[in-house]
């Protein structure tokens, strides 16, 4: 089989028991890896025939017909494949979950035509090229580390996208923010494009609904270590919502002015914070019911060394608020 093209060539005999269904619905049920809209397009283009004749999507099956299918699937992405040493923590025939390192761009774009995660996924197998965005269903910013789920089949990709839309994939993050947050809370504030700075997002009443839940794990004199769970998945959501609360992420170059440090912070800590090279954000856990096998999937990524070192330094400098009781956090069993 050509890695850039697949061919669906089938002849199907309709039984009396299958009568009464629309042909587009029948084909969608039979070939679940392709959406109903895709089958409607193929029927319109003449790639599906009943008894040798063109048909319409709304045609009802009567029984004893012969359906002929002749569809050539062209590749969905046109980018260069590149072998990469991807850190894959879970994989089966339907999907994989990988640990994205800091600095890896997810999609090719202006200034990044190669060297992205998408390029690396295309080198994994012959099927990723057939999937939109090479199977990617959500993204992380370049300098955010952690877990991403990637589909390996069209059916899985469609179902994962639906799980994200219905908030049935639990995405848990860890981050370090400026200021003290000693109580759990929720930010429910719509996010849209910034009115004047187009590369930024902002809380905007005309934007899309965005909900972020947060819980403190440790509180220091001037900083807090949080566990954050996304209910929605807007661009820069955690970064925008924390900035909106007045607690931007440490090291965030877009929303936090990483060089600005409270004057009361001691000199050693000022250097530590100013030198932290990226937003202190890590996608730590993904939990969901597998869209095909329906088994529970729960994958964790260890805290990367730069964030672990930052927390250790905060503790060594004895900035921890001793009056704060650490809260219990549930992780995968």
SS (H, E, C) 151-168: ECCHHHHHHHHHHHHCCC
- Say which residues have a Cβ less than 8 Å from residue 16's Cβ, sequence separation at least 6: 63, 64
The H-or-E segment that residue 40 falls in is: helix 36-44
**In the block, residue with structure tokens 């202190």:** 280
Q: CA distances (Å), 118 to each of 85, 96, 97, 138, 185, in order?
A: 13, 13, 14, 12, 35
Residue 225, both tokens: 């270590």
Q: Which residues does the annotation mark as catalytic?
A: 141
- The answer to whether the beta carbons of residues 248 and 239 sit under 8 Å apart is yes
User: What is the widest separation between alpha-carbon atoms in the chain?
Assistant: 83
Q: What is the rounded distance in angstroms from the CA atom of residue 264 to the CA atom of residue 54?
A: 77
CB of 170 closer than 8 Å to CB of 285 = yes
283 three-class SS: strand
């Amino acid at each position: 089989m050509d890695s850039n093209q697949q061919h669906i060539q089938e002849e199907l005999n309709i039984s009396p028991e299958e009568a009464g269904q629309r042909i587009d619905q029948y084909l969608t049920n039979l070939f679940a890896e392709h959406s109903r809209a895709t089958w409607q397009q193929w029927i319109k283009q003449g790639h599906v025939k009943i008894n040798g004749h063109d048909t319409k999507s709304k045609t009802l099956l009567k029984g004893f017909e012969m359906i002929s299918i002749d569809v050539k699937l062209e590749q969905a992405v046109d980018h260069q494949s590149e072998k990469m040493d991807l850190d894959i923590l879970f994989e089966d025939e339907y999907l994989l979950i990988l640990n994205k390192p800091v600095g890896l761009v997810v999609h090719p774009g202006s200034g990044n035509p190669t060297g992205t995660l998408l390029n690396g996924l295309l080198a994994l197998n012959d099927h990723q090229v057939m999937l939109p965005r090479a199977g990617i269903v959500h993204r992380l910013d370049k300098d955010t580390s952690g877990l991403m789920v990637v589909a390996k089949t069209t059916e899985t990709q469609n179902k994962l996208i639906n799980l994200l839309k219905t908030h049935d994939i639990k995405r848990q993050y860890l981050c370090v923010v400026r200021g003290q947050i000693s109580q759990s809370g929720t930010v429910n504030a719509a996010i849209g494009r910034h009115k004047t700075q187009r590369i930024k997002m902002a809380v905007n009443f005309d934007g899309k609904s965005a909900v972020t839940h947060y819980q403190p794990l440790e509180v220091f004199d001037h900083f807090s270590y949080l566990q954050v769970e996304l209910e929605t998945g807007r661009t820069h959501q955690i970064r925008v919502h924390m900035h909106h609360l007045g607690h931007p992420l440490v090291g965030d170059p877009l929303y936090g002015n990483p060089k600005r440090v409270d004057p009361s912070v001691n000199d050693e800590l000022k250097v530590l914070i100013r030198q932290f090279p990226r937003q202190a954000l890590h996608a730590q856990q993904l939990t969901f019911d597998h869209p095909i096998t329906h088994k529970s999937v729960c994958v964790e990524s260890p805290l990367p060394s730069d964030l672990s070192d930052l927390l250790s330094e905060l503790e060594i400098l004895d900035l921890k608020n001793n009056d704060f009781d650490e809260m219990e956090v549930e992780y995968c069993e």
